[in-house]
Amino acid sequence: MKKINSRLTVMTLLSAALMAGCSREIAVPTFPGSRPTSTSTVTRTATLTVTLTKTLTMTRTATLSPTPTFTATLTPTGTLTPSATPTDTGTPTQTATPTATATPQTAQLPVNLGSAANYVILSYTGISNSGPSTTCGGYGVYPDGQTSITGSPAIVESCGGAIDVGDGTANTAKQDLGTAYTDAMGRPTGATLAPGGDIGGQTLYPGVYTINSDLNISMADLTLDALGNPNAVFIFQVKTGGNLIVGPGRQIILAGGAQSGNVFWAVSGYCSLDTTVSMVGNIMAYTSVTFNTGAVLLGRALASNGDVTLLTNTITKPTP
């Protein structure tokens, strides 16, 4: 029985060595009363490939009691500077042209009209009239003669002003008008008006205003505010062939001590005053000046290269 057990033990050891894939030397034990047994060396090489596939699914539900409360504290490490600050201005308002403010412009001297200031009408090609029109300040025409004064009834000069037609005096006045026009157009711009703009409804202050298109005063009256200075000068430069167009019933309102004689309109095209307009200032048009029914002017209508048309109108010499 001991022998059998001994053999079993040896076999078991050999099997274990083989399964381990190793080479080892096995010493067979000697038992009392048995024959001496020699030492055997057994070499075995085994390759064991094991493939394991496991799928693990775990579901854990945690219940905390009492319910924890978390408090977070944020500490800024930088500085945020907003790039813009929105402003709520309420309902948008549309404006035809930018509204000028009382930002002071360089004070201007009056435009020197020379001997052209002796007339309230000065024309190159003549004066046509329809209806009872009145002037207070005289009129002149050059180079055309007396035949260039047309219409019925005749213009009534109510203040005893000079009437010079086709003579040297009118010629001198015509030349002085050209000089004055060049002076007014050459003054440095103080404010540029939007092309095609309508300045009706605005209040403008002393200075030089330039526009490179037609200048309209149509949607409301225009106010010229001298800010308390009776010597303040307003010059409007209507350039690039633009025209001065004043809509029906509009009026130019003088405020803050403004004087009609210190307002100058230099117009590279024509000037048109619609019905019942109340206009002020010295109009120096490169071409013509046209008055529609009932329009009145406290100022001068001076047409360098065209005519002046009247239709039951009144023109009065400005002050100063």
The pairing of beta strand 191-192 with beta strand 149-152: unpaired
User: pLDDT tens digits for 274-303?
Assistant: 999 999 999 999 999 999 999 999 999 999
Q: What is the chain's mean pLDDT, rounded?
A: 79
User: pLDDT tens digits for 108-153?
Assistant: 999 999 999 999 999 999 999 999 999 999 999 999 888 999 999 9
Is the confidence at residue 14, as pLDDT, over 50? no
Is the confidence at residue 20, as pLDDT, over 80? no
Do 134 and 247 fall within a single domain? yes
In a domain, 300, yes or no: yes
Check: CB of residue 227 under 8 Å from CB of residue 245.
Answer: no
Instruction: Provide CB contacts within 8 A for 58, sequence distance 6+.
Output: none
Percent of the chain clearing pLDDT 70 (strictly above): 68
Do 148 and 21 fall within a single domain? no
Number of helices (H) and strands (E) in the chain: give both, helices first: 2, 24
In a domain, 160, yes or no: yes
pLDDT score recorded for residue 102: 58
Check: CB of residue 187 under 8 Å from CB of residue 106.
Answer: no
Do 305 and 206 fall within a single domain? yes
In a domain, 258, yes or no: yes
Closest CA to 112 of 278, 313, 302, 264: 264
User: pLDDT tens digits for 192-240?
Assistant: 999 998 999 999 999 999 999 999 999 999 999 999 999 999 999 999 9
Domain interval for residue 304:
114-316
In a domain, 128, yes or no: yes
Do 150 and 255 fall within a single domain? yes
Is the confidence at residue 320, as pLDDT, over 80? yes
Dist. CA 113–CA 304, nearest whole Å: 13
Do 27 and 126 fall within a single domain? no
Q: How many structural domains compose the chain? A: 2
Do 23 and 123 fall within a single domain? no
In a domain, 92, yes or no: no
- Residue whose token pair is 């005289």: 138
